[in-house]
Structure 1
Amino acid sequence: MVKSLSEEQPDLSVIEQRASSVAQLFIDRVAASPTREAFRYPVGEQWRSMTWRQADERARRIAAGLVALGVDAEDRVAIAAATRLEWALADLGIMLAGAATTTIYPTTTADEVLFIVSDSGSKVVFAENDDQVAKLRDGRDAIPGVRKVVLIDGTGDGDWVITLEELERLGTAYLADHPQALDERIAAIEPDSLATLIYTSGTTGRPKGVRLPHDAWTYEAAAVDSTHILGEDDLQYLWLPLAHVFGKVLLTLPLQIGFPTAIDGRVDKIVDNLPDVRPTWMGAAPRIFEKVYGRITTMMAEEGGAKAKLFDWASGNARKVADSRAAGTSASPLLGAQHAVGDKIVLGKIRDRFGGRVRFFISGSAALNQDVAKWFDAMGMPILEGYGLTETSAASCVNRPDANVVGTVGWPVPGTQVKIADDGEVLIKGPGVMQGYRGLDDVTSQTLVDGWFHTGDIGELLPSGHLKITDRKKDLFKTSNGKYVAPSLIEARFKGICPYASQFVVEGDGRKFVSALVTLDPDAIGDWAASHGMPGADYRTIVTSDAAREMVQEYIDELNLGLNRWEQVKKFVILPRDLTVEQGEITPSLKLKRTVVTRKFKDELDSLYD
């Protein structure tokens, strides 16, 4: 029996009594648990710990340094860095100074960095390294408002570029002369004061700056806290880009709830870090879960023999138990006993790869394949899929551990309203909704109508209150036969079927049939090639081979069995390389830039229709 939204009993007083600003939220957290761990961060091969009091000391020095540089209330301060401790401390310092953070991905091109810094009116920029400084220095004439660049790793130039250490020394000196400066700044922050300016990574035209006030973040944190899915004794592993709204909300939750965060944005270190960190939960994009699922299932299949059979037996029993739980029924005593044995000798070892303590994951940013979700649930590490946009401060809906409906993005967080427009578009209203787009009043008025944000997503509300997203409104296309196709659902389904897939881009707008661009996962396909007569072959040789094409065709045939005739993929191209963030084909949060990809590979797609 699926639990209904009407059965949830959040503590609404937590929302009603929320802090007036992110700065006040942080101050309250430091006062409540000064000696508890706030952050865990890597230094070389070791992990070090920082308490809330220690974080407060550094954040205050940064804040005072910014004030000394002439940063006033609601002035913008940009951060161009990967996810790391210093990003979090800089953001906290900006909040304590009463200023507003402008987020910039470290992979953003120089031209776009200059646009964001200029458009935001940022006075100071935190730059991670010399590469980020170079983007600013080469276009310095375009950003005359930038007074200083604060370099996290490296040496300053004694003039325009100073180090983070120098900024903190400046702050220490300022506080000695103005001990009440920060208290006065914090007291002056209103709930509707600007806290964050996040530029959407649009696929066409310039990105738009989304204005998010303090109240949006304190609300999001309080709303999640009111559901009681997280507690002070949890431990978060945070690798998501903090320039993205999903990462930013995960950085805010600890201020409300008090749990520590292990922070390291190096994606290639996730697998190595998890057994050391031993988190109880983690947020991630679907691609991470797809890679893990593909890696483990293919590895076991290639292992063969008794080990593969034991894995299939244990995971099969676990899947049946998970299905029974989802249906609100109990597994039979025999199945329960078999599952207990399989869990002890097989599935427990898989959980150990994640540290052995994961209670759940939270997935966002793109559609999650249901087969992948069910597999993780069977492994004892359920994925709670959520939903939100930059314009809604990320967390608009999320599944709950005791009401997790795979294939949905869960219930609205308490205090947020969701409704479906006549054309199927999802509309959202609540404290988490943006103030508007910076300098774009006309665009704001088109998307924010009577307080309702028009998401651009198509979805439906189930009787239980769970929201199900069908596709992006702009991504839906119609074939020349007049049939509508929702590409993202097909793409997500294929990634659950084919463990070697990296990207699967469905196309067919105005054409007589549906086609696809395919890329294969560089890690997984190497092992496959070794067992198919191509050991040591390079990626291009592998993916352009007849054997690889036959393999992909078999998985597409399986995919097509579950699709309507007009949705079926008739032809496909395997690209000679994977899609990358660096090439601008996927976002730093691992979301497909569909328009960019279909335009870039237009010739390959056109060839399928000759």
Structure 2
Amino acid sequence: MNIMSYPSIPAVLRENAEKYSGRPAISYKENGTYCSLSYGEFYERFLKLARGLLVSGITPGDRVAIFSENRMEWAISDFGIQSCGAVSVPIYATNTNKQAAYAINHSGAKIVFCSTSDQYRKLVSVKDQLSGVELVVSYESFPGDSSLPLSALDQFCEIDTPLADEDRNRIEGLIDGITLQDLLTIIYTSGTTGVPKGVELTQRNVMCNAQYGVEQLGMHQDNMTTLSFLPLSHVLERTGGYYVTLLGGNHLVFAENVAAVMDNMTEVRPTTVVSVPRLFEKIYTGIHESVEQMPALRRKIFNRAVAVGREYVNKKFIKKESLGFLDFRYRFYDKLVFKKIRERFGGRLAFFLCGGAPLDKTVNEFMWIIGTPVFNGYGLTETSPAVTISGAGKVRFDSVGKVLPETEVKLAEDGELLVKGPQLMRGYYRDEAATAAAFDGDWFKTGDIARIDEEGFVYIVDRKKELIVTAGGKNIAPQPIENELKLDRYISQAIMFGDRKPYLTALLVANAETLVDYAREQGIDYDDIEDLVGNIRIKQLYAERIAAVNRNFPSYKTIKYFAVLPREFSIEGGELTPTLKLKRKFIYEKYKDIADDLYELKGSAVIAPGKNS
């Protein structure tokens, strides 16, 4: 389906409502049971919401905010807002009251959709900052505050009142008036390095990104079931999962939450999932931890299967050589080992799509070995998001793929990746200075250091602003080293420091489950997890694990001192963004005393040189 032959996303959904009227569009779990809306039902629901917006005085170009976690009502709100020609302003459900107020005020949103009483209470707590908000519409029923007008969604939509022909004609007339150049959404960046900026994305930005992304993947896209768990407030899930699925007439299922994703996979049996690297890192370490507990013979079979699989995927997908007898050997181990692993994902998975950050090569290769291909992509909110995507016949396990059609990339003198293409944002909302600063002529400055090989594959080194420059003048990208650390079964998360310092240090987050098992095996007594990570024998364990990683790097890239933290970084704790990226400055400030002690008091030492520099 060529969605670029349509003038807007709502225009595609109107046709899908006719073509696929009885086909499931969106499913969600409620009280332990999955419920669905067909394309015909979904279309009627978002037209009713559009009716409510029009009655409330919303006109084309007005901004309407959505302050909610992923759920069916989020999608109804999004498409209802678009059908009026209005502009959606998504806000992460995890945002604080002040963060939400900033996006609402800066965008000039007149109406705010919110999910729960907790979200509404956040808004009430900053009501003095929401002078432009005329109404809050809640997805759930609860008492409101007289100072901040509230309406329940069903009441707002007049859910039990059929659409009159006059209403339908008016809304569909507005849909007919939407063009590819019209603004679709304003997405506010996380603001981890300053004031959030509102990224303006048009209908064309998102639609061409969805269309070209599907073409680049080169995978069969009919009768797909996508399990959605990344926040729809982030453009990766919104374009790569949500819009791609619904524009193609396929089935979108919302996961209950991030923690339930693996359980939901076995229930939903998806054909595709969009994720960030963290999911694949957990799958990789989880499988290898399970293998460690197996009897010796089963471990040997697994390791042999992986060795054969590694040879197979590199010959078939990278070198594109004849497989010969290797094909039979792989199929044997696939049936014996890998098929059982894939059943944990529902048994129907055709591929994963990964974005948000570079995926470690070892992890990516392993996912291909077990028969669950991961297609890496790269982009930013400002690029809707994809600039590059891997695809069938376009795979390098450590690359983010090749550029999309009509897209150009080049490297600046310092290695920063510059981009041109139809997916580039219109600009930053009400911020001409920031918009101008983001471009070098016609080229958008991504802020990422990259390299491009002779075949056109793009490799992301790290964020330009996150490069560590040591006191000795060495430039170090922390992410590849952190990724290596996270592959260790005793390390859940890792962050490095060393900018303008004489050597590198690291904060490690313990994998509590495997660490507790180790303590039990070694007969180590402890009171709680904090006591355990401070044990001298545990420190020695981590020193040995880091020493093994250090051997993979030149000496100036090795970690000299470290500290182990007892609890994981989290969104709630402020250390992670909603898409699970490290908020480096926040982490440093939160753990400043510990981080500084690694230089002043010399923390736990790692006595192991790296490779010669």
Give per-residue Cα distances to partners, 1:172-229, cap 9 Å, x unaligned: 4774653422022212222222111111002132211111111111111221233342
Question: Equivalent residue of 2:330, what SS?
Answer: helix
Counterparts in 2 of 1:343-492, with a 5 A limit? 343-492=334-483
Say if 2:218 is the partner of 1:226.
Answer: no
C-alpha spacing 1:153/1:525, structure 2 compared with 1 (3 Å): farther
C-alpha spacing 1:171/1:141, structure 2 compared with 1 (3 Å): farther
Partners of 1:524 and 1:597 in 2: CA distance: 24
Partners of 1:369 and 1:604 in 2: CA distance: 27
Say if 2:24 is the partner of 1:33.
Answer: no
Alpha carbons 2:25, 2:250 under 8 Å: kept: yes
Say if 2:562 is the partner of 1:575.
Answer: no
1:91 to 45, 55, 78: 78
Alpha carbons 1:65, 1:172 under 8 Å: kept: no
TM, length-normalised to structure 2: 0.93
Give per-residue Cα distances to partners, 1:338-383, cap 9 Å, x unaligned: 3322221221110000011111111111121111111111101121
C-alpha spacing 1:119/1:230, structure 2 compared with 1 (3 Å): farther
C-alpha spacing 1:570/1:165, structure 2 compared with 1 (3 Å): same
Residue type matched to 1:352 in 2? E
Deviation at 1:46, TM superposition (A): 1.7
Give per-residue Cα distances to partners, 1:271-319, cap 9 Å, x unaligned: 1111111111111111111111111101211234322222222222222
C-alpha spacing 1:375/1:144, structure 2 compared with 1 (3 Å): same
Give per-residue Cα distances to partners, 1:58-110, cap 9 Å, x unaligned: 11111111111111112111111111211111111111111111111111011
1:135 to 104, 118, 122: 122
Counterparts in 2 of 1:42-53, with a 5 A limit? 42-53=29-40
Alpha carbons 2:28, 2:36 under 8 Å: kept: yes
Question: Equivalent residue of 2:89, what SS?
Answer: strand
Alpha carbons 1:367, 1:492 under 8 Å: kept: no
1:585 to 549, 561, 575: 575
Deviation at 1:535, TM superposition (A): 9.0
Partners of 2:169 and 2:485 in 1: CA distance: 58
C-alpha spacing 1:77/1:327, structure 2 compared with 1 (3 Å): same
1:190 to 179, 182, 185: 179
Using the TM superposition, name which of 597-606 and 457-466 deviates more. Answer: 597-606
Task: Report how many aligned residue pairs link the two structures.
Answer: 595
Give per-residue Cα distances to partners, 1:425-459, cap 9 Å, x unaligned: 11111111111111111011010243321000010
Aligned to 1:557: 547
2:297 to 300, 306, 326: 306
Deviation at 1:474, TM superposition (A): 0.7
TM, length-normalised to structure 1: 0.93
Alpha carbons 1:586, 1:592 under 8 Å: kept: yes
Alpha carbons 1:25, 1:255 under 8 Å: kept: no
Aligned to 1:243: 233
Question: Equivalent residue of 2:386, what SS?
Answer: coil
Give per-residue Cα distances to partners, 1:566-606, cap 9 Å, x unaligned: 11111111123221111211101101111111222222121
Give per-residue Cα distances to partners, 1:142-191, cap 9 Å, x unaligned: 11111111111232539611111111107947746534220222122222
Partners of 2:78 and 2:518 in 1: CA distance: 44
C-alpha spacing 1:436/1:304, structure 2 compared with 1 (3 Å): same
Give per-residue Cα distances to partners, 1:8-64, cap 9 Å, x unaligned: xxxxx947x432122212223223322222112112222222211111011111111
Partners of 1:109 and 1:457 in 2: CA distance: 28
Partners of 1:526 and 1:195 in 2: CA distance: 49
Using the TM superposition, name which of 407-416 and 157-166 deviates more. Answer: 157-166
Say if 2:190 is the partner of 1:201.
Answer: yes
Residue type matched to 2:469 in 1? K
Residue type matched to 1:201 in 2? S
C-alpha spacing 1:412/1:31, structure 2 compared with 1 (3 Å): farther
Q: Which runs of 5+ in 2 are unaligned?
A: 601-613
Counterparts in 2 of 1:476-555, with a 5 A limit? 476-496=467-487, 498-533=488-523, 538-555=528-545
Say if 2:279 is the partner of 1:288.
Answer: yes
Partners of 2:519 and 2:393 in 1: CA distance: 42
Alpha carbons 2:209, 2:386 under 8 Å: kept: yes
Aligned to 1:4: none
C-alpha spacing 1:351/1:451, structure 2 compared with 1 (3 Å): same
Counterparts in 2 of 1:95-110, with a 5 A limit? 95-110=82-97
Alpha carbons 2:246, 2:252 under 8 Å: kept: no
Counterparts in 2 of 1:263-278, with a 5 A limit? 263-278=254-269
C-alpha spacing 1:216/1:526, structure 2 compared with 1 (3 Å): farther
Say if 2:320 is the partner of 1:328.
Answer: yes
Deviation at 1:491, TM superposition (A): 1.1
Aligned to 1:7: none
Alpha carbons 1:543, 1:576 under 8 Å: kept: yes
Partners of 1:291 and 1:529 in 2: CA distance: 21
Using the TM superposition, name which of 268-277 and 445-454 deviates more. Answer: 445-454
Say if 2:205 is the partner of 1:216.
Answer: yes
Aligned to 1:279: 270
Partners of 1:389 and 1:137 in 2: CA distance: 32
Alpha carbons 1:39, 1:260 under 8 Å: kept: yes
1:340 to 331, 344, 355: 331
Question: Equivalent residue of 1:353, what SS?
Answer: helix
Alpha carbons 1:409, 1:466 under 8 Å: kept: yes
Say if 2:141 is the partner of 1:154.
Answer: yes
Residue type matched to 2:494 in 1? F
Partners of 1:100 and 1:522 in 2: CA distance: 44
Question: Equivalent residue of 1:474, what SS?
Answer: helix
Alpha carbons 2:256, 2:264 under 8 Å: kept: no
Over the residues paired in the alignment, what is the CA RMSD in angstroms? 2.0
Partners of 1:44 and 1:377 in 2: CA distance: 35
C-alpha spacing 1:337/1:62, structure 2 compared with 1 (3 Å): same
Partners of 2:44 and 2:525 in 1: CA distance: 54
Deviation at 1:331, TM superposition (A): 3.9
Question: Equivalent residue of 2:577, what SS?
Answer: coil
Aligned to 1:3: none
Residue type matched to 1:484 in 2? N
Residue type matched to 1:505 in 2? I
Residue type matched to 1:147 in 2? E
Residue type matched to 1:23 in 2? P
Residue type matched to 1:199 in 2? Y
Deviation at 1:527, TM superposition (A): 4.2
Partners of 2:257 and 2:568 in 1: CA distance: 19
Residue type matched to 2:46 in 1? A
C-alpha spacing 1:538/1:52, structure 2 compared with 1 (3 Å): farther
Partners of 1:208 and 1:609 in 2: CA distance: 35
Partners of 2:297 and 2:363 in 1: CA distance: 24
Say if 2:45 is the partner of 1:58.
Answer: yes
Partners of 1:91 and 1:536 in 2: CA distance: 51
Residue type matched to 2:368 in 1? D
